[in-house]
Structure 1
Amino acid sequence: MSTILIVEDDDAIRSNIVRLLKLEGFDTISAPDGTAGLERAQAFKPDLIISDVSMPGMNGFELLAAIRADKALATTPLMLLTALDDRENMRRGMTTGADDYLSKPFTRNELLDAVNAQMRKRGLVEQAIQTELAAGEERLRAAFSHSMDGGMPQTFMVDVPEGATTEQLADATVLFSDIRNFTSLAEKLGSVEVAELLTEYFERACQPLLKNGGLHVKFIGDGLMAVFTDTSQGSPLPAARRAVSAALAMALAAHEFRAWLEQRYPGRGLPPFAIGVGLHCGEVTLCQLGTVQSRETAPIGDTVNTAARLETASKELGWTVVASTAVLLKAGDGILTGSSTSLAVRGKDLVVDVLEVTGLVTTVADRVHGMATLSERAQEISEAVKANSAITARAVKSALDSKLAALKAQGFDPATATVRLKGYRITEKIGSGGMTEVYLAEREKDGLPIVLKILDSRGKDASQHLVRFIQEYALLSGIQHPHVIRIYDQGFTDEHAYIAMEYFERGDLRRLFGPEMTEQRALTVIREIAQALQAIHASGIVHRDIKPENIMLRVDGSVALADFGIAKSMREAESLGLTQTRHGDVVGTPYYLSPEQAGGRLTTTQSDLYSLGVMMFEMLAGKRPFIAESLELLLAKHLHADTPALPAAHAHLQAIVNKLMHKDLAVRYASAADLLEDLALAG
């Protein structure tokens, strides 16, 4: 429901307007003079203000000026009430920002026609704003999608839009910065978390810009831009010097932000946080868009484009701050530099000499004049940061979601498919099951074959599947062991998730079962799996599903432990007070379940060793130790039956199998290290 503020010193007229509008379903607020009207406008943020012109104290024109000067109220439509023959006030009102006027006396229909016209106009304006925001967000989403395909997004304006006014800055320094590997980072966080990350970072990054007199700060996705001029803040310091100071301070802020990131999102396997900054100087065009009440200024031109290109080059060069020699010549003494090179600016017949900026020796003048705080702009920057963060978060997650949804689409044909995913080229679909699709792909940088496993997290039990899927990467990201599967990458949106993992062209261990499974080969496999268990147990992980199908064969004949989808972190379980599987749950594959898993009790590292004992028996005997006609009978055997005897040829290994599969945890091997010692003695 729309709210209208009526400011009128005549009690009878004010009451009559309030009554008429209430009868039409509007909420109303009233004030007897301009001062009270401004206070109520600031408190209630009305959709329309109707104000008399002639009032004691603050009159209608003064109220209009105050409304237009207030950023929160500047676009609120305001209608003036004037006398019938007061043409001078009518003209004055319309030229100073009033949206309409109404001559007194007026009829009910005249009042309602004027009010409804303003409401329709406001609705159309809001619709246009939302349309433009949506279009801008779609452009940003497309830019991130293009970036995931290996291209470079360009999300800043390059041409002067029709109807815009311009102002030329003959000599300005442009700073352009963005977050390195932002899509890799964002893929591992939810949309809300991405927005929170950007908000926190931008609030920190903006402080050096403001303190050094940066103007026209623009947020562009995960990047930002600022312009420095020699007249900024009236500082005697050169614009180029203040831009260098701001860039180095931003690098320090990013370094400190890394600690916040690690503390805020522990154990998420996030890539290291870093930024790149490009600096260039020259002519800049300030393009002014919007109305008198709401005007936006966008810096454009070759200088802006070149600064953006230098920032992009910082990724390839491995530098944090890249500055053109033109900037350094104007920045004065004390600029510390490292390497230097020349860069061709893409799309322009231009080569720019650049240097790596590593430090700044400050002077007394720097400290006195270069760090002025623009506290009056803090709220403006904060609001812009929050809006940009939310839009960017949605855009980057939407771009990834579109990629993953396209891969999962029916009828995937690698011969005609154009979908690429962040450095991976999809070659074929190799499997599917339930909510998961599996693709074979090549890592583009080195041609390494990898497996992309994609989960559709929509539908029944989606959250549970997504948690397990994300957990698989989180548990393994810190483990590098020759007998544990290698996990290269992970990303997720609100609807999809993927893991890029090692590809095993020889398949799983089940392929080796049969006459070719010699005792020596079986013992080699058991040793390698025991070494893998030793590594994951040391990291606090219980696998909970040891079976031949989760042991993969490498080309060199060695094996690797895989599929950690139902693994559990012991440290996490302890911190959450989790001590056992819920009653009635059976987690794992029934033929290889430990007695404690079969009974719904606490699973530990010794549970994995029991399952390994079942596998060892099967590899040596050529059959499973326990089989039954029903799940209940099978679980009962795991709980109570004695371990069967191995064939006579392998009887010397019976003691090891018995100890691995003992029902009593006090008798079972306490660790994989203990098992490895006995295997060494057995030969």
Structure 2
Amino acid sequence: MTTILIVEDDDAIRNNIARLLKLEGYEIATAINGREGLERVRQLHPDLVISDISMPEMDGFALLEAVRADALIANTCVMLLTALDDRASMRRGMTAGADDYLAKPFTRVELLEALEGLLKKRGRIADSIQYAVQVREDHLRQAFTESLGGNRVPDKFGLEAPEGAITDQVIEATVLFSDIRNFTSLAEKLESSEVAELLTQYFERTAEPVLTNGGRHLKFIGDGLMAVFADTAGGSPIPAARRAVSAALAMALATHEFRSWLDQRFGERGLPPFAIGVGLHSGEVTICRLGTIQNKETTPIGDTVNTAARLEAASKELGWTVVASNATLTRAGDGVQTSGMTSLAVRGRHGYVDVAEIVGLVTNLEDKQHGMATLTERAAEIRAAVQVNSEITARAVKGALKSKLTSLMDAQFQPGEAPLRLKGYRLSRKIGSGGMTEVYLAIREDDGLPVVLKVLDAAGKATSEHLSRFIQEYTLLSRIVDPHVIRIYDQGFTDDHAYIAMEYFERGDLRSELNAGMNQKRVLAVISQVAMALDAIHERGIIHRDLKPENIMLRPDGSVALADFGVAKSMLAAENMALTQTRHGDVVGTPYYLSPEQVAGHAITPATDMYSLGVMMYEMLAGERPFRADSLDLLLARHLSAPTPMLPLEHEGLQPVVEKLMAKNPADRYPTARSLLDDLAQRPLLRTVAGPAA
């Protein structure tokens, strides 16, 4: 129902209008003066305000100006009523942002016609806003989709003047651009609501130093932020470029502190490291105006804006957080601390731009006196913009990721690749091959579930030995129902092929996360979950024999699952006689993670998997493998005799755990995976970081 607020100090007029509009089906609220009317507007957010001009405490003009100055209610429709039927009053009201003007006395028909016209206009505005939001979201989605394909989209902010924009002013200023690096990699591991939450928390932290240092014309587009710092009359005496440098460094600090929130909120999800890039450039900036007087939007454009965006884009390749042009450094004054310096070819400009990495700022007395802080009254407006942008971005990036996945699943086979036809499955593309098997991404036709099909060419070169091993893998896996072991859905045979249908992991394996760096809390969560998987398979008489990061798969919720049992071995005597294909002396597994007994060709036991888990744990904590060598023979020799290296100091409390896992003698290792879990649970400092039991 449409809500109308009537602000009128004359009781008779106020009550008559209220009765008239109630009869027409409107929800009515009233106020006796402008001050009370402003409070009701903020409280009720009415669809329309009908206000008298001549009132005590706060007149209609002051009420209108207050409404337009408040970002949360600035778009409220306002109709002014007055007995002053003259052009001056009308012009003042419309200039202040009134949507319509009705002179008293007026008839019922005049009021209702004016009201109907305003509400129709409001509906059109709402439709145009929704259309603009949709266009913006579609643009973002396209940008994210192109970036997923490896293409950088530097004009994500839309740096050209919008159609219909009017040049408002041309100023000398410093432009700041920032962006989150590898944002799509972050987003693909979170739900849409979580992406929005992350962006909101991040922008609220980083927008504050921009505002306090005098940044204006803030724009939030996707995972990026743009702001303009200008030298204005009566403003801060600190140069705009210096305030922009201060804001950029404060953003870097806020981002560092934001990582603590991120770790607490999503520590178990295996997110890639969170980092930003910032670009700064100074020069002439054109401020364009788009929209009506009461709903004006300003957009900075020009070569300075473009260059700042290109510098931010180059920050990742340079490995710098804050990249500033020489023009900005010159204007910023003394005390700006720099590290590397270089020249960049910037697209759209002739010649090169000299740039430097900014790493600090030594403040002077004037800086401290003025606190490099100016107006912050737009904080509420910024928060509202952040929230809207976060929701739009979340939808756009998740939509792009979904489209990318769909395109992969609908991909055609390469020329010459005759697609297999397996009943009940639609194969979309080959994703790997090895030995006598090929691996495909497929869709289960009865429910649309993405699966991985491991297929053996049973009628081709495969021998009975290959087929026996293939059947063994399914036999071993089909016994296991554990949340940290890959799910097996089906096994089947055709005239020419045998296949296993298993769980598809969109996020891939642990290697990418390990290479990006893992904190201790995440390492212990992963180790604990892998230990649970080992406990489950060892209890059923199965040894994995090829434990490595590439065989630890990531689920969307951040949990992990043990996969690839192609060389797994059953400890059951009867099956060993029938199915064991590996003789003593054969090396099975990946050399970096082999146990000493595998190297020496001795008996394989569950302790073999524990050694490989220890190698993985060391690598996750130290960021490198414990043993490396120039030749395979030397690497295997180190597994046999070299002592376990020391972990970095911050992880020294886990040294005994790693050494026990990697003991050369299997009898000196943890006897079972469960005993490892029990040991971790007994360590007070580790109890809260080992992760859930399932």
**Which category of TM-score, normalised to the shorter sequence, fits these structures?**
0.5 to 0.7
1:302 CA displacement: 0.9
User: Residue 393 and residue 201 in structure 1: after superposition, are their counterparts in 2 closer, same or farther (change >3 A)?
Assistant: same
| Paired residue secondary structure (1:500) | coil
Q: Which amino acid aligns with 2:305?
A: V
2: distance between equivalents of 1:566 and 1:329? 49
Shift of 1:138: 0.7
- The reply on whether 1:66 has 2:23 as its aligned counterpart is no
Alpha carbons of structure 1 residues 215 and 312: separation in structure 2 relative to 1, 3 Å = same
Q: What is the CA distance between 1:676 and its match in structure 2?
A: 4.9
Q: Deviations over 1:170-217 (max 9, x none)?
A: 432111111111111111111111111111111221232223222222
Distance 1:362 1:402, change over 3 A: same
TM-score, L = length of structure 2: 0.65
Show the counterpart of 2:253. 252
Counterpart Cα distance in 1 of 2:139 and 2:156: 7
Residue by residue over 1:321-347, the C-alpha shift from the partner in whole angstroms, topping out at 9 and shown as x without a partner, is 211122222222222222222211123
Q: TM-score, normalised by structure 1?
A: 0.66
Name the structure 2 match of 1:542.
Answer: 533
Equivalent residues of 2:552, 2:560 under 8 A apart: no
Residue 151 to residue 116, structure 1, CA distance change in 2 (3 Å): same
Paired residues for 1:341-356 under 5 Å: 341-356=342-357
2:166 counterpart letter in structure 1: T
1:127 aligns with 2:127: yes
**Could you report, residue by residue, the CA deviation over 1:122-176 in whole angstroms, capped at 9, with x for unpaired residues?**
1111011011001101101111111111111222233223432324444321111
Query: Quick check: 1:204–1:253 contact (8 Å CA) kept in 2?
Result: yes
- Between the aligned partners of 1:170 and 1:376, the Cα distance in structure 2 is 22
2:395, 2:426 → 1: CA distance? 24
- Counterpart check, 1:51 vs 2:51: yes
Secondary structure at the counterpart of residue 234 of structure 1: coil
CA contact (8 A) 2:48 2:78 kept: yes
Shift in alpha-carbon separation, 1:110–1:63, aligned structure 2, 3 A: same
- Distance (Å, rounded) in 1 between the aligned partners of 2:165 and 2:86: 35
Distance in structure 1 (CA, Å) of the matches to 2:257 and 2:142: 31
Q: How many positions carry a matched residue from both structures? A: 525
| Alpha-carbon distance between aligned partners in 2 of 1:164 and 1:394, rounded to the nearest angstrom | 28
Question: Deviation string for 1:519-563 (max 9, x for gaps)?
Answer: xxxxxxxxxxxxxxxx96795331546899x9999xxxx787987
Looking at structure 2, the residues matched to 474 and 235 of structure 1 have their Cα atoms a distance apart, in angstroms, of: 61
1:12 has 2:22 as partner? no
Tell me whether 58-67 or 83-92 shows the greater mean CA deviation.
83-92
1:391 and 2:392 matched? yes
Greater CA drift, 43-52 or 129-138: 43-52
Residue 10 (structure 1) shift: 3.4
**1:385/1:110 CA distance change after superposition, 3 Å:** same
Cα displacement (A) at 1:387: 1.5
Once the two structures are TM-superposed, the CA of residue 222 in structure 1 deviates from its matched residue by: 0.8
- 1:113 pairs with 2:121: no
* Unmatched tracts of structure 1, length 5 or more: 417-426, 443-449, 463-467, 476-495, 504-534, 574-586, 593-608, 625-652, 661-670
Q: Is residue 56 of structure 2 the alignment partner of residue 98 of structure 1?
A: no
Structure 2 SS opposite 1:51: strand
Is residue 428–residue 439 contact of structure 1 (8 Å, CA) maintained in 2? no
Q: Percent identity?
A: 54
**What is the CA–CA distance in structure 2 between the aligned matches of 1:76 and 1:183, rounded to whole Å?**
37
Alignment of 1:578-593 (within 5 A): none
Contact 1:454 1:499 in 2 (8 A): no
Measure how far apart 1:233 and its partner are.
Answer: 7.2
Counting only pairs closer than 5 Å after superposition, residues 278-677 of structure 1 correspond to structure 2 as: 278-372=279-373, 374-409=375-410, 412-414=412-414, 439-441=429-431, 498-501=506-509, 540-543=531-534, 544=536, 612-614=570-572, 617-622=574-579, 676=666
> 1:623, CA displacement in angstroms?
9.3
Post-superposition shift, 1:250?
Answer: 1.6
Do 1:547 and 1:612's aligned partners in 2 also have CA atoms closer than 8 Å? no
For 1:213, what is the secondary structure of its paired residue? coil
The aligned counterpart of 1:147 is 147
In structure 2, C-alpha distance between the alignment counterparts of 1:498 and 1:655, rounded to whole Å: 33
Within a 5 Å distance, the mapping from 1:124-273 to structure 2 comes to 124-153=124-153, 154-231=155-232, 234-273=235-274
Find the residue that maps to 2:6 and give its secondary structure: strand
Which letter does structure 2 place at the counterpart of 1:405? T
Q: Give the aligned partner of residue 473 of structure 2.
A: none
- Separation of aligned partners in 1, 2:114 and 2:227: 43
* Distance change in 2, residues 1:146/1:89 (3 Å): same
> Would you say the 8 A contact 2:229–2:240 is kept in 1?
yes
Asked if the contact 1:440/1:451 (under 8 Å) is kept, the reply is yes
Letter in 2 for 1:499: R
Q: Find the residue that maps to 1:405 and give its secondary structure.
A: helix
Residue 105 and residue 184 in structure 1: after superposition, are their counterparts in 2 closer, same or farther (change >3 A)? same
Give distance in 1, aligned partners of 2:69 and 2:145.
Answer: 40
Quick one: distance in 2 between partners of 1:473 and 1:311?
43
For the 8 Å contact 2:52–2:80, the answer to whether it is kept is: yes
Bigger Cα displacement from structure 2, 151-160 vs 267-276: 151-160
SS at match of 1:271: coil
SS in 2 for 1:338: strand
Gaps of 5+ in 2: 433-437, 451-479, 488-503, 512-525, 582-601, 610-660, 670-694
**Structure-2 change in CA distance of 1:68 and 1:318 (3 Å):** closer
Change over 3 Å in CA distance of 1:372–1:305 after alignment to 2: same
- Offset, 1:307: 1.0
Partner Cα separation in structure 2 for residue 333 and residue 458 of structure 1:
69
Structure 1 pair 257/452, CA: closer, same or farther in 2 (3 Å)? farther
Distance 2:441 2:414 in 1: 16
Kindly indicate whether the alpha-carbon contact (under 8 Å) linking 2:552 and 2:563 is maintained by their aligned counterparts in 1: no
- Matched residues in 2 for 1:221 and 1:30: separation? 41
SS at match of 2:355: strand
Instruction: Write out per-residue CA displacement over residues 228-271 of structure 1, whole angstroms, 9 at most, x where no aligned residue.
Output: 22338733332222222222222222222222211211121111
